[in-house]
Structure 1
Amino acid sequence: MLLDKSNMLESIRNFPGQFEKSLKFAAGVRVEGRIDKVVVAGMGGSAFPGDILKAYLAGTNISVEVCRGYSITTMIDENTLVFISSFSGNTEETISALYNAMEKKAKIVIVTAGGRLEELSRKHNLPIAKIVKEFPTFQPRAATGYFIGIFIGVLSNSGVISDKKTDLIEVGNFLAKCEFEEEAKQLAKQLVDRIPIVYAHDFYEKSLAMIVKIKFNENSKVQAFYNSFPELNHNEMVGFTLIKGNYHFIILDDPAGHERIKKRIQIFSNYMRQKDLPVSIIPMQGDTVLGKIFSTIYFFEFVSYYLALEYGIDPTPVDMVEDFKRALE
């Protein structure tokens, strides 16, 4: 029986090509004037690329915040660039955030594949970077390379950052050389009937550990949780005094990370293994922040995909999300 009815595997294998394509989607899209802050307003797979952008621009003079909700709660003004980010273009929270950004006179760029947001971009004469779907059932959560490429492309076009477009090309070329499928299949087999708990160094908590956790939720249709070192050593790990679940720890380790965090990882792993809980330490690959983040995401796209197949389910549909939206109508 064919489980992958929408051929998600093809979209995963094509992921490295998103970075170069994204620059075409961003071509000619720019804003004028001073920009002190960048806000990404979106939900789900249209929001977490904002967390990656925040990590990528860490240490620069550009502040990046991510808004997941109906209104933009951070202070914004005419010197703020707000990316209104919704793959479908119909996300109600994001449409609400658009009106909020307009009221506060922020600079706005819409990033979408169509829908209501495309209509609003025309109505209000707002710049838009339009993503072209690879095929009708292509999922927003699979478009991370498109979103981050558009964000960086627009910021480069607008002179907010120096031209970083070569960084995107290099990431795509790097991922194209990565061969992850067989290793991913093996880890997926180990995760059957386990609850994945994903930990990372603190710098990569939202920009990676949370995203990997989401891949298990949406692709594999299982519960999964995330946190980061060193914070978890001050609270969460105490919760494993009494084991109430069949857990498997996945620790995303940055080879260039803080030595004390590396020691914490080793000690924590030993503690959990003494409790007969499996621990998989996954070294992040690559020499740059984007390389490390996207190579790890790419690997776990395969892991979560093959875990879905192990459970005998189609990885593409998110029926509960769609049912919930209908219940809201």
Structure 2
Amino acid sequence: MDQKIDQENMRQVILDSPSQLTQGLALAKDIKIPSNFNSIVISGMGGSALPGDILKIYLDDLFQKNSDQNSHLTVLQNRTYALPAEAYKNSLNIFASYSGNTEETLSSLEEALKAKLPAIGISSGGKLAEICQKNNIPLVSLPAGIQPRCASGYFFSAILGILAKAEKIENPSENIAQAQKKLSEQISDLEKQGAEIAKKLFEKIPIIYASEKFRALAMIWKIKINENAKTPAFYNSYPELNHNEMVGFTLPQGKFHLINLTNQTDHPQTLKRINITSEILAKKNIQNTRIEMNSSNILDSIFSTLLLGDWVSYYLALEYGQDPTPVAMVENLKQQLT
């Protein structure tokens, strides 16, 4: 590790991240809620919202494989100041803010309180924790000290634990423990792979593509590159991008590098589109790196792919001489909003 650049030791945070999966379950073990809901609305911004995006992938997979033990739950993301209409009917409202001080999330929480909607808070403290404690709202208290975008494992597993307690899904403990073990075994190889990919992305604009099913993973890669490496990156999904975005590369206005996140469970035509699109863009001098996910286990597909993205963004930050942890632009904006 280059300690002169990585002053807050994000490398260690990434190395420790697999343990968040079992810890998240443990943190939510005492949360009990009524089970009279068939949808979830997750209010959160930035890194605190990311677990909701991957939760959709996992819950859909659970239901498809075992509909007897797993309910079909609609997961909605609320990334603004007010609750969507769906939050008012048969919905569990989860308010996720790692700092506990995210103004959009707090605004939505106040709306839920006024409407007396079922609610749960997840944070490491701040105003959200204070409001939950004052109003007897169940609260999952997370360990503090890392960036919100680095806490996805805590949030994800805590929500799974809550849903299992409400008997909406099967007990995830065994699957979570196995996923954590496998991630810990893979982490060294993923770090090496991430460092190699980062070199390819240096002085290029990364474009992250995935199938619609795994769109959230491409988005999270993009976000980690933005925040850790402090450089632009973009994402989209197949097959929609073949109907519009790819035409924009008729006249590329910069140096791009394409990352394709692929999974053999993707539709055969989608996999064919990925190959053809890569060939078309190669003729425009856009190089392509293909990341093949583990298709045999959905948790490994999700979290090993995200862990690789962490390493890519981390080492790209070092390539640019940027400390991957602080987000000065975000903090500057917050100060100007107050």
Q: Same fold (TM over 0.5)?
A: yes
Contact preservation (8 Å) 1:71, 1:97: yes
Deviation at 1:75, TM superposition (A): 1.8
> What residue is the counterpart of 1:270 in the other structure?
279
Aligned length, in residue pairs: 325
The partner residue of 1:176 within 180, 184, 188 is 184
> What residue is the counterpart of 1:142 in the other structure?
150
- CA distance in structure 2 between the partners assigned to 1:91 and 1:6 by the alignment: 22
Contact preservation (8 Å) 1:200, 1:227: yes
Letter in 1 for 2:210: A
Letter in 2 for 1:185: A
The partner residue of 2:76 within 41, 65, 68 is 65
- CA distance in structure 2 between the partners assigned to 1:231 and 1:214 by the alignment: 20
- CA distance in structure 2 between the partners assigned to 1:287 and 1:104 by the alignment: 43
- CA distance in structure 2 between the partners assigned to 1:272 and 1:235 by the alignment: 14
Structure 2 runs not aligned, ≥5 long: 64-70
How many percent of aligned residue pairs carry the same amino acid? 41
Change (3 A) 1:172 1:128: same
Change (3 A) 1:262 1:3: same
Letter in 2 for 1:197: I
The partner residue of 2:209 within 199, 202, 223 is 199
Deviation at 1:294, TM superposition (A): 0.8
Deviation at 1:102, TM superposition (A): 2.2
> What residue is the counterpart of 2:41 in the other structure?
39
Contact preservation (8 Å) 1:12, 1:301: yes
The partner residue of 1:81 within 92, 101, 112 is 92
Mean Cα deviation higher: 69-78 or 21-30: 69-78
2:236 pairs with 1:234 = no
Deviation at 1:63, TM superposition (A): 1.0
Q: Deviations over 1:251-309 (max 9, x none)?
A: 00012211111111111111111111111111012522222111100001001000000
Contact preservation (8 Å) 2:264, 2:295: no
Letter in 1 for 2:201: L
Structure 1 runs not aligned, ≥5 long: none
2:224 pairs with 1:189 = no
Q: Deviations over 1:139-182 (max 9, x none)?
A: 11000000000000111112222222222212111211112111
Deviation >4 Å, runs of 4+ = none
Deviation at 1:78, TM superposition (A): 5.9
State the Cα RMSD in Å.
Answer: 1.2
Contact preservation (8 Å) 2:211, 2:270: yes
2:24 pairs with 1:27 = no
- CA distance in structure 2 between the partners assigned to 1:262 and 1:229 by the alignment: 9
In structure 1, the residue corresponding to 2:174 is in which secondary structure?
Answer: helix
- CA distance in structure 1 between the partners assigned to 2:294 and 2:183 by the alignment: 10
Letter in 2 for 1:94: T
- CA distance in structure 2 between the partners assigned to 1:79 and 1:258 by the alignment: 33
- CA distance in structure 1 between the partners assigned to 2:234 and 2:54 by the alignment: 19
Contact preservation (8 Å) 2:229, 2:314: yes
The partner residue of 1:50 within 52, 56, 59 is 52
- CA distance in structure 1 between the partners assigned to 2:173 and 2:295 by the alignment: 18
> What residue is the counterpart of 1:219 in the other structure?
228
**Aligned pairs (5 A) from 1:124-135:** 124-133=135-144
In structure 1, the residue corresponding to 2:33 is in which secondary structure?
Answer: coil
